[in-house]
Amino acid sequence: MPEARPLPTMQYGDFSRMAYERSLRQDRIIKAQLELTYRCNLHCRHCYTDPYNGKEFFPRELTVAEIQGLFGEMHDMGVVWLNLTGGDIFMHPDFFEIYEAAYRKGFLLQLYTNGTLFTRAIIERLKTLPPFTIDISCHSVNEERFDWFTQVPGSYRAFMRGVTLLRESGLPFMLKTKLMDWNKDELGDIRAFTESFGQRFGYTTSLSPRLNGDCTSLAYRIDPQDLRRLEHIDAPGEAEERCAAQEEIVGPDSNRLYRCGCGTNSIHINAWGELGTCTLQYEHRVSLRARSLNDAVTEVFAAVRSRQYHSDSPCRSCDFHRFCEKKPTDARWEQGDAEAPIPYDCDTALVSAENTLGHTLIHPLTAGTVAAVKTP
């Protein structure tokens, strides 16, 4: 009999950092996000997937067998973290068959849900094979406003039932908030609610056009001046995700169109089986019904990595790029050109840079190539 040797153990933070650094060195994929379905019981007013939440679209979605095949390919590729999202994952009629297949592959599973569909039966089943974490959207703690935003009466009560069940279960979960124009005055209440679960409060603010190009969801964006005021009071959750390099105003060192993490170590697969580099990158996609995951990653990553600015867009040499959340697909839908600046993103980049650096800067769209010039 070979001698049984225990596996070495390490803190999760050390493991995560090591896996991330190794993925960059070895050019490997370690994170995947899979949209199981566009079905959802809610119709949130800002939702980018909602246009495809209709029964005429459901036959296009990946089958359970196709999803299970993808899990095998992800496993062989070395994926560690797998995020299952929607729509709402619990609207998928075969959710647990899919979930258990993913669990058996050994992925660290992160579930995104609106929290309104939890029942005791679902909780008990999850407890037998616990996920790594469950993220639940919480954009309001006011019944009337919550139901107005989801456009479904009774959704707030269902949400409260869900998070109460989760709290009692001991399963790991996190509340997350998108701060918008309609809920900004609720910030204190949402913070108190989140902290009542022993969680640290944070929020994000970016909104994108819907997947069909409809930009009406952008009407819910928070005003950049409100953001300026709030950022002085609250350190937003997304600030924690910013890399340390975002501390300085400095021009880009290349002409690359994608200056974010797109095309490094993560993949996104939508409910129709189209592979991309992130949730909202729709300039380059390949159908996994026609190609293996490996081939699709090679093709899409090469396309994203090689995209350059060709026009004289201000983004090309913008000194604010490290503070900016502009996504090329958003720019194409909103401005008609993936290279064009998005004025709203310029405004929020300015606010973010000024709050971080503590002094006034010239607006990205009026600064030209001397954006870093500071005013006293």
Interface with ligand SF4 (CB under 6 A): 40, 42-44, 47, 49-50, 86-88, 114, 314-315, 318, 320-321, 324, 326, 341-342, 345-346, 349, 364
Q: How far is the CB of 320 from ligand SF4 (least distance, A)?
A: 4
Element (H, E) at 181: none
User: Does residue 266 contact residue 33 with C-beta atoms inside 8 Å?
Assistant: yes
Comparing CB distances to ligand SF4, the nearer of 68 and 335 is 335
Q: How far is the CB of 20 from ligand SF4 (least distance, A)?
A: 25
Q: How far is the CB of 198 from ligand SF4 (least distance, A)?
A: 24
- Cα Rg of the chain (Å, integer): 21
Q: How far is the CB of 335 from ligand SF4 (least distance, A)?
A: 9
Q: How far is CA 345 from the centre of its chain?
A: 17
Phi-psi region of 75 (alpha: psi -120 to 50; beta: other; left: phi over 0): alpha
Q: What is the dihedral of CA 260, 229, 219, 217, to 10 degrees?
A: 40
Length of the chain: 376
Q: How far is the CB of 19 from ligand SF4 (least distance, A)?
A: 28
Comparing CB distances to ligand SF4, the nearer of 49 and 183 is 49
Comparing CB distances to ligand SF4, the nearer of 293 and 314 is 314
Summarize the chain as % helix, strand, coil (round to 5): 45, 10, 45
Q: How far is CA 319 from the centre of its chain?
A: 25
Q: Torsions phi, psi of 85, nearest 5?
A: -140, -175
Q: Torsions phi, psi of 256, nearest 5?
A: -60, 135
Q: How far is the CB of 228 from ligand SF4 (least distance, A)?
A: 15
Comparing CB distances to ligand SF4, the nearer of 298 and 369 is 369
Comparing CB distances to ligand SF4, the nearer of 102 and 350 is 350
Comparing CB distances to ligand SF4, the nearer of 42 and 300 is 42
Comparing CB distances to ligand SF4, the nearer of 44 and 288 is 44
Q: How far is the CB of 11 from ligand SF4 (least distance, A)?
A: 32
DSSP state string for 57-118: TGGGSPPHHHHHHHHHHHHHHT--EEEEESS-GGGSTTHHHHHHHHHHTT-EEEEEE-STT-
Comparing CB distances to ligand SF4, the nearer of 162 and 314 is 314
214/210 Cα distance (integer angstroms): 5
Q: How far is the CB of 331 from ligand SF4 (least distance, A)?
A: 8
User: Does residue 265 contact residue 28 with C-beta atoms inside 8 Å?
Assistant: yes
Q: Please provide the distance, in angstroms rounded to a whole number, between the alpha carbons at the two ends of the chain.
A: 75
